[in-house]
A and B are shown apart, each in its own frame.
Chain A
């Protein structure tokens, strides 16, 4: 298998397989959650559910001052790499081209040097959170093999993307193929691991906000 065969495999059939598994898996996950429903609540409501629910979806991007103070590292580094990851994913022009060709939706991108810098920050952030996971007593205690595996699955697309962009792996079709494959692995495992939080966290936040909102508290 030459590097070009590999690239064409990654760009062609493998991408289709990954996208299919991802779409199937994540929709199964979302619908099996939603279809469970909630029991009727007989208690007289103090507040609304929908507006506080939606507010909480937003508010959890922005932690309370106490949490910021007690877990500064988590908040700062966690936010940094998440934001970096999402921007790089959605605003790098080759990615936009891919999304546009797949979904028919496009938007303006960012200049490559900015994406490049954010990628570097994201990589450093991910390394830092891994070290933190090893060192922090709570994180180490909670961590399962899945947590470390998912770290790797998240780290590899960013790393291979960085290496491909800087052409540090040769030949380029190999570099690009590895990057695409890493992204495909990410897509494939997403619905079956904690990566589902990318989608379900919005549901969870909404439910949280709605449950508290009904009682008159903005959570």
Chain B
């Protein structure tokens, strides 16, 4: 990407990094001993065995800036270097260059799904993915974000969906759901308890989610609504790593929720959308929400606990589950999906490393929106594939549209006949008919 033709610049990128450096970043960089254990936690390294994909290495430019500008020792070293350069009459070499950032762009985007697994194993306790997220701010501001993510961000802001999806497309689907179920899909209903958000990928690839949700909420008498103004939960700003873009997108959700005066906002079966709204959103818009945010799985588990979910029958085949990183490791939702599985699955087997130690499907963190990363995305999937092969399930269950797409594509690539289903749909399939439930 050529510079100067646009408003992004190296200096703007470095400024963004200066905004991001805080005590944890300083503690993390001070502690790294180059042991390389983060590599064995990273699906991109494990499956390619290319050392440049070692997670901590992806942060080298940010580390250089921190060392030079945020440590007394680094400042002294720079002073000495500048004096030597001045003595020798040569220009000081810049610490970080555009060429360097261009070289690091694939490391920070193509080979990192921000799954956070490295942050769980680092022996000195470095939260590497916390820093990757911060590093991406500078990459965007310096004009070094991948084209696919830039395009998705532009579409998300300009059209309301990273895939350019319009309300009318969703409206067709709503009509279809209403016909199929005979139930109403509430739209713009003020004072509803829950505002339901969707993801474009779900709307396009997995229309059964909305149908399942409609059935479950009718079954459990949940007061809910969709918003015409804001139905998109995904946040390309989080993936590209721009809190400004993220704030613009989160603000739409907040506005819709506040306008409809809902108590809760439900993030759909999408991992990063949950992280975006639940954890990053309030910080992006710099205020706490007047409503609470739940992932659909949390809501379903709450309904189950309240006895509002009556199910019958169980899936009899051998099922296993993929925890979306954003939901499990990065948001603490681990037991909820397992309790729901118990409700409807007879033969459930967990992958050996699951929950907070699960392996990423390889598509998160914007990797799936970045066409250039396609080969790496498939390579990283091999880790998941190996995990699945270990327990030999007949079907996989998950609760993130991106993970689900990646699992389906990956399994197909390797000719593995293992269908992937969404947990919400599976719950919906086992609901006791309303009349029956009322009789009992």
Quick check: do A and B touch in the complex, using CB within 8 A? yes
**Of the residues B27, B28, B57, B123, contact of A141 by C-beta under 8 Å:** B57
Most buried by A among B32, B35, B51, B126: B35
- Taking a contact as CB atoms under 8 Å apart, the answer to whether B332 and A46 are in contact is yes
A59-73 at interface with B (beta carbon < 8 Å) = 60, 63-64, 66-67, 70-71
User: Any chain B CB within 8 A of the CB of A207?
Assistant: yes
Q: State whether A64 and B332 are in contact (beta carbons under 8 Å apart), knowing that A36-B22, A43-B280, A74-B35 are contacts in the complex.
A: no
**Of the residues A39, A60, A70, contact of B124 by C-beta under 8 Å:** A60
User: Any chain A CB within 8 A of the CB of B4?
Assistant: no
User: Any chain A CB within 8 A of the CB of B353?
Assistant: yes
B residues in contact with A206, CB < 8 Å: 125
- Taking a contact as CB atoms under 8 Å apart, the answer to whether A142 and B57 are in contact is yes
- Taking a contact as CB atoms under 8 Å apart, the answer to whether A139 and B34 are in contact is yes
Q: State whether A138 and B45 are in contact (beta carbons under 8 Å apart), knowing that A38-B24, A219-B356 are contacts in the complex.
A: yes
User: Any chain A CB within 8 A of the CB of B97?
Assistant: no
A residues in contact with B288, CB < 8 Å: 42-44
- Binding stretch for chain B, among A11-19, A25-33, A83-91, A168-176: A25-33
A residues in contact with B329, CB < 8 Å: 217
**Of the residues A44, A144, A208, contact of B126 by C-beta under 8 Å:** A208
B residues in contact with A25, CB < 8 Å: 73
With CB as the reference atom, state the residue of chain A lying closest to B34.
Answer: A142
- Taking a contact as CB atoms under 8 Å apart, the answer to whether A203 and B35 are in contact is no
**Of the residues B46, B125, B283, contact of A56 by C-beta under 8 Å:** B125
Q: State whether A208 and B119 are in contact (beta carbons under 8 Å apart), knowing that A37-B23, A43-B280, A218-B356 are contacts in the complex.
A: yes
Q: State whether A71 and B40 are in contact (beta carbons under 8 Å apart), knowing that A33-B26, A142-B34, A216-B332 are contacts in the complex.
A: yes
A141-155 at interface with B (beta carbon < 8 Å) = 141-144, 147
With CB as the reference atom, state the residue of chain B lying closest to A218.
Answer: B356
A94 to B: closest C-beta gap in Å? 28
B63 to A: closest C-beta gap in Å? 11
B23-81 at interface with A (beta carbon < 8 Å) = 23-28, 30-37, 39-41, 45-46, 49, 51-52, 54, 56-57, 70-73
- Taking a contact as CB atoms under 8 Å apart, the answer to whether A200 and B73 are in contact is no
B residues in contact with A56, CB < 8 Å: 125
User: Any chain A CB within 8 A of the CB of B436?
Assistant: no
A52 to B: closest C-beta gap in Å? 10
A residues in contact with B232, CB < 8 Å: none
User: Any chain A CB within 8 A of the CB of B120?
Assistant: yes
User: Any chain B CB within 8 A of the CB of A105?
Assistant: no
A38 to B289 CA separation, bound complex (whole angstroms): 20
Q: State whether A29 and B126 are in contact (beta carbons under 8 Å apart), knowing that A142-B36, A144-B34, A204-B30 are contacts in the complex.
A: no
B residues in contact with A137, CB < 8 Å: 49, 51
Q: State whether A32 and B72 are in contact (beta carbons under 8 Å apart), knowing that A74-B37, A141-B54 are contacts in the complex.
A: yes
With CB as the reference atom, state the residue of chain B lying closest to A29.
Answer: B30
Q: State whether A197 and B24 are in contact (beta carbons under 8 Å apart), knowing that A44-B288, A139-B34, A218-B356 are contacts in the complex.
A: no
A residues in contact with B334, CB < 8 Å: 217
A109 to B283 CA separation, bound complex (whole angstroms): 51
B31 to A: closest C-beta gap in Å? 4
User: Any chain A CB within 8 A of the CB of B122?
Assistant: yes
A138 to B127 CA separation, bound complex (whole angstroms): 19
User: Any chain A CB within 8 A of the CB of B286?
Assistant: yes
User: Any chain B CB within 8 A of the CB of A211?
Assistant: yes
Q: State whether A70 and B125 are in contact (beta carbons under 8 Å apart), knowing that A32-B70, A39-B283 are contacts in the complex.
A: no
A residues in contact with B286, CB < 8 Å: 42
Most buried by A among B25, B121, B286: B121
User: Any chain A CB within 8 A of the CB of B281?
Assistant: yes
A71 to B46 CA separation, bound complex (whole angstroms): 12
Please encode chain A, from 181 to 219, with 1 for each CB lying within 8 Å of some chain B CB and 0 for all others: 000000000011010110011011111110110011111
A143 to B22 CA separation, bound complex (whole angstroms): 26
- Taking a contact as CB atoms under 8 Å apart, the answer to whether A147 and B34 are in contact is yes
User: Any chain A CB within 8 A of the CB of B21?
Assistant: yes
With CB as the reference atom, state the residue of chain A lying closest to B355.
Answer: A217
7 new A-B contacts, CB < 8 A, other than A32-B70, A218-B356, are A71-B40, A141-B54, A142-B57, A203-B23, A215-B330, A216-B331, A217-B356
Report the 5 A-B pairs with minimum CB-CB distance, sorted nearest first: A216-B332, A205-B125, A141-B51, A42-B282, A138-B36
Q: What are 17 A-to-B residue pairs whose CB atoms are below 8 Å?
A: A35-B23, A37-B22, A42-B282, A60-B122, A63-B121, A66-B41, A137-B51, A142-B36, A142-B57, A143-B34, A147-B33, A194-B31, A194-B32, A201-B124, A207-B27, A208-B24, A215-B330
Chain B residues within 8 Å of A, Cβ to Cβ? 21-28, 30-37, 39-41, 45-46, 49, 51-52, 54, 56-57, 70-73, 119-127, 130, 278-283, 285-289, 292-293, 328-334, 353, 356-357
